[in-house]
Amino acid sequence: MSTKNRTTLKTMTASLLGAALLSTAIGGTAMAYDHGGNSYEGGYNHIYKDKNFGKNIGKLRADLRRSGYYVMDVEPVSDSRINVYAKKNNQPYKLKYTYPGLKLISSDKKEWSTIWDDRKHHGDHHDKNDIEETIKNESRYPKIKQRAIKKLNNMGYQVEDIEIDEKNGQGVFEIEATNSGQDYEVILGYPNLNVIKLERD
């Protein structure tokens, strides 16, 4: 093959490769972002994987509570923004914050119907982690947790591990316990500590 032909072939290959890479980049961008420019793949999951998410949201909830707001739901909508749905004096609000900086972007009064429409538009997400963090931030939580351990001890079980979890929108304690050398899985309701499940592993 002549030098001229080799040069032409290299030029064509480079052009085709460049086009392919450009196409992939464009396609990847189209997949990663919705029409509003929000990154679901890299954003929504990224926020929930943030090990400080629960702590940050707990602090935000506490700050809003001191200002008279009751937080109903927290919803990540991109890798740098969250929506907070709250009510104050029975008036619903949609608050937009940066994340993780938690700087208020906007605060809009809403009608109850539009609040639910907004949440459904973003998947009506009521994340179990949000419920768990709400419970953990309750002032009564540590005492109820100790009561759960004491209850099982009085039933003859030794608690090895206890965690708050969510089942059907309600808080529960999931407990690993032992009795006479046998392992048991126990679920107690929160906050009443009713026995939902007690099975040998």
Are 125 and 156 contained in the same domain?
Answer: no
Digit-by-digit pLDDT tens for the chain (201 residues) are 554 445 444 444 444 444 443 333 333 333 333 333 333 333 455 566 677 888 888 889 889 999 999 888 888 888 788 989 888 888 889 999 999 899 999 998 887 666 555 555 444 444 556 778 888 888 899 999 999 999 999 999 999 999 998 887 788 999 999 999 999 999 999 999 999 999 988
Name the residue among 198, 160, 156, 161 with its Cα closest to residue 180: 156
- Whether 131 and 152 map to the same domain: the answer is no
49 & 123 share domain: yes
Q: Residue by residue, what is the 3-state secondary structure of 43-95?
A: HHHHHHHCCCHHHHHHHHHHHHHHCCCEEEEEEEEECCEEEEEEEECCEEEEE
Count of structural domains within the chain: 3
Q: Of 136, 164, 179, at which residue does a domain stop?
A: 136
Give me the CATH number covering residue 67: 3.10.450
- Looking at the fold, whether 89 and 10 belong to one and the same domain comes out as no
- Whether omega before 76 lies within 30 degrees of 0, making that bond cis, reads no
Residues 126 and 46 occupy one common structural domain: yes
Q: Are residues 158 and 189 in the same domain?
A: yes
124/146 same-domain check? no
- Among residues 98, 114, 136, the one where a domain terminates is 136
Residues 55 and 117 in one domain: yes
Q: In this structure, are 83 and 7 located in the same domain?
A: no
Is-contact 183 167, C-beta < 8 A?
Answer: no
- Range of 46's domain? 40-136
Final residue in a domain of this structure, among 85, 115, 136: 136
Please tell me whether residues 65 and 128 are part of one structural domain: yes
| Residue showing tokens 């906050």 | 191
| Same domain (yes/no): 94, 149 | no
- Are residue 93 and residue 158 in the same domain, yes or no? no
